[in-house]
Amino acid sequence: MFGLTEEEMDLYRDLAQDFAVRDVAPQVVGNSKFITPLIMVEDKPTPNRVYVQQLVTDIETIITLTASHMAYDYAHLQCESDMEEQEIIKYLHTKYEDYVVMQFIKYGITFTLDTITEIVGSIILELPYLYVSVIQDEDFDEDDFLEEKLQAYNDYLNENFAEEEEEEEE
């Protein structure tokens, strides 16, 4: 499927989900501010930990599903389309930006557009590395594959994240 064996597809899915849970979700959750109901504990108002934990779980679920779906789409587009890498990136960014917004709304999670871009962008930037890491074909040259894609990802970074870097430098 998508130019990958069944074993490679299983590994690919696992790697995408691991990346979502270990790298993207903690970054998003760590940078988030949560509004939570208060409960009284020993006559003191205390944030409802169960509510916050469910919110974090919902965010992790959305990010994991997004990474899995996006990874499959990426593999499909690499193998079965004539799209250039820039077109693939743009397609995935638009599709999954909308998907994440709809999932956040579905789960009742408030968000900023920066959060959506951060989630989608982090996953997009990792996709080529996840893809090449599972291909076991001896004739496949990982370095050439990544080198061919480099300019498209540099352009993507400049278009979507250049302002953030400039603000951090000031």
Whether the pLDDT of residue 135 is over 70: the answer is yes
Give the model's pLDDT for residue 35: 75
Q: Report the percent of the chain where pLDDT is more than 70.
A: 94
- 3-state SS, residue 65: helix
Q: Output Rg (C-alpha) for the chain, integer angstroms.
A: 18
CB 36 within 8 A of CB 47: yes
Given a cut of 60, whether residue 87 has pLDDT beyond it is yes
- Strand pairing of 38-41 and 44-47? antiparallel
Total residue count of the chain as it appears in this document:
170
Q: What is the pLDDT of residue 141?
A: 80
Residue 142 binned pLDDT confidence (cut-offs 50, 70, 90): confident
> Tokens standing for 94?
């638009």
pLDDT of res. 2? 58
Q: Does the pLDDT at position 169 exceed 80?
A: no
